[in-house]
Chains A and B, each alone.
Chain A
Amino acid sequence: MGRLFWKFFLAFWLALLIAGIAVGTGVWFHKRSLDEAGDDLVMGPAAALMVRAASATLAHGGLPALRDWLATAGEDPRLRLYAVNDEGRDLLGRNYAAVALERARRLAEAPTGRPAAAYLLDGAGTRYLLFVAEAGMGTPAGTPPPWLPILAGLLASLGFSALLAWYLAKPIRVLRSAFDAASAGDLDVRVAPGMGGRRDELADLGRDFDHMAGRLRDLMDIQRRLLHDVSHEIRSPLARLHAAIDLARQQPERLEISLDRIEREGARLDEMVGELLTLSRLEAGMADTRRECMDLADLVGMVVEDARFEAEVQGRRVEFAAPVPAPVRCGAELLHRAVENVVRNALRFSPPGGVIDIRVEQAGPGRVAVVVRDGGPGVPAAHLEAIFDPFYRVENGQGGAGFGLGLALARRAVEAHGGVIRAANRPGGGLEVHIELPTDSAAEERRTPA
């Protein structure tokens, strides 16, 4: 039981006690006034008859007879006949309500018709006021002693407070242990089962926690997988380096070839580390993407020039068309790299003699697109998203040259520019990659009025 439980518990209990005492006091006062009213003077013919009978009894039988009569008078057991002397004492020593006596006195002093109260004198000259009142006052036999309801109330309030405090404190305790588990690294912890069927703000909080934990776990998984992939990917060039070194030792006559290999692997490592760094900069939002204003067609044109050179060597063709002006604000180097990676990818998967078609076109108001189409094998539909994940490689033995970082980098770069990149298989075979970017609105405005 935490402090919160005790705070809730004490607060509820105190509130219940105070409310209980207040209500109890009120009821007690009310009951007392009711009791007093209930002990009120009874008027009417029956009472008048009893009083007249009493005066007759006194006249004929004296005080002892009156006492007998007082004790037995009337058929209704709730009606009592009192004989009170001037000192206020009832002849039988019974209690009565002061209000009743007061009213009886007034009635006896100003009698009208058949009075229900009257003064009588006994033989010794003592004056008695006779009146009939309804029995009340005093606790009837069989009622429980007063401490019992108090105790019951106390226990009930105790139990109820504890229950309520537990009901409120429990989900918070569940949440707390979940937070503890999460901070200790267990992100599979879930709060919802511990909430039962609750439907309130606390249950909502639990659901939010579950959502957060799940999201964090996914992110951590991505990071972990990335780290795992990175270490694996770095090992491949390292293993080749080792192999090349041992080959050089084993076959000194082929030293030149081995040295070339070593150089190549070193460069590959360097390139990979560079791409990883760029990727992590992009993910951290550190890349500058608003620096330069330029036409997307120029930027893509540069990529195409390089690609054409490479493609011709391999017997492939690159077609390029940019029919519309497409001003964008960008980190030119980064965007150049993104487009280059997409085009390189298309080149790599195109069959010899294939055509790579690159177009810059309008993609709706305020948006331009670079579309790169190749005649390669395409990508299984289920993997169209995954090709933009780091280290994803199509398993067809052709992609051995890259690290699987190019498209991941392209996506991050395009997204950092406020754009989207997506891939689709072409109906006739081949892959089509769309890079959509917002146009530079300032440049648009400059041009429109002119």
Chain B
Amino acid sequence: MTKILLVDDDIELAGMLGEYLEREGFQVWAVQDGRKAAEMALGENFDLVVLDVMMPGLNGIEVLRAIRRESRLPVLMLTAKGDDEDRIVGLELGADDYVPKPCRPRELAARIRAILRRAQATPGTGPECHRVGALAVWPARRQAEWDGKALELTSTEFNLLEVLARHAGRVVSKAELTENALGRRLARFDRSVDVHMSSLRHKLGTLPDGRSCIHTVRGMGYQLIKE
């Protein structure tokens, strides 16, 4: 059964969300304290963490930082609606996606499923390996290499890279990337893909002429340069 760690300081809300998610077939552990949450996320075998960013004590961003230092465990953030700063910082730190709070449990469940689906991509579909320049992507193994060195990517970053590699040399629109890599529709003013792309660029190497291998096509989308 899928194990989910739910980190929220609102005991009552966490109780209700837990109740809902358990009915949806997840196994939920709720924690209120950030420090304990980071400990549990790293120590036990969870499939996904739902993390409230606005918490007293060790806040969500710090918990995320602590998790990302050691693990690529999928993380879904709960952010305050309209608080772009938290959202962007969270995505930059490697959260896989966010849900603005107050959210419907139904939407939360759908997002959790989308992330899990992507993180556990079924092996054996499509080609064995995409090779573009120094980059090699194995969708089935969910691994990527640059110049023979393995890349440490979060699951969302891997998905984005995989979509770009599959369409190397072609511009992939943000809507297409959002749907294929984040598993949801592109919302208005949604900068998630841009933030993920920016951290992806940092992790990949550059082309021989010093340019990034991921090219931004303004107003259209992103393109993986294919020599």
Residues of A within 8 A of B (CB): 231-232, 235-236, 238-247, 249-251, 261, 393, 395, 397, 400
Contact = CB atoms under 8 A, between A and B. Distances in A.
B19 interface: yes
Contacts of A231: 80, 82
A241 B104 CA distance: 9
Interface stretch (B9-17, B37-45, B61-69, B213-221): B9-17
A245 B107 CA distance: 13
Given A232-B80, A395-B56, A400-B11, A239 B102 contact: yes
Interface of B: 10-13, 16-17, 19-20, 23-24, 32, 54, 56-57, 80-82, 101-106
**Counting chain B CB atoms within 10 Å of each CB, which of A231, A240, A243, A397 scores highest?**
A243
9 nearest A-B residue pairs (beta carbon): A239-B102, A243-B16, A238-B102, A246-B105, A240-B13, A242-B104, A235-B102, A395-B56, A246-B106
A240 B105 contact: no
Nearest to B56: A395
Contacts of A400: 10-12
A247 B105 CA distance: 8
B87 to A, nearest CB: 15
Nearest to B105: A246
B16 A244 contact: yes
Nearest to A264: B12
Contacts of B17: 243
A113 to B, nearest CB: 112
Nearest to A236: B10
A256 to B, nearest CB: 15
B57 A239 contact: no
Contacts of B103: 239, 242
A243 B23 contact: no
A246 B104 contact: yes
Given A235-B81, A242-B102, A247 B10 contact: no
A239 B20 contact: no
Contacts of A238: 102
B20 A395 contact: no
Interface secondary structure of A, over-half rule: helix
Nearest to A246: B105
B20 A247 contact: yes
B23 A240 contact: no
Given A243-B17, A261-B16, A251 B54 contact: no
B74 to A, nearest CB: 22
B56 A232 contact: no
Contacts of A397: 32
Contacts of A245: 104
A239 B10 contact: yes
A397 B33 CA distance: 10
Contacts of A250: 20, 23-24, 105
Given A247-B19, A247-B105, A250-B20, A239 B13 contact: yes
A246 B16 CA distance: 9
A318 to B, nearest CB: 27
A242 B80 contact: no
Nearest to A401: B12
B54 A240 contact: no
A261 B17 CA distance: 13
A204 to B, nearest CB: 39
Contact of A236 (B13, B23, B24, B104): B13
A105 B58 CA distance: 114
B80 A246 contact: no
Nearest to A265: B12
Contacts of B32: 397
A395 B58 CA distance: 11
Given A240-B10, A240-B16, A244-B16, A235 B23 contact: no
Contacts of A242: 102-105
A133 B22 CA distance: 129
A239 B23 contact: no
**Counting chain A CB atoms within 10 Å of each CB, which of B32, B104, B105 scores highest?**
B105
19 contacts: A231-B80, A232-B80, A239-B13, A239-B103, A240-B12, A241-B102, A243-B13, A243-B16, A243-B17, A243-B20, A246-B105, A247-B19, A247-B20, A250-B105, A393-B56, A395-B57, A397-B32, A400-B11, A400-B12
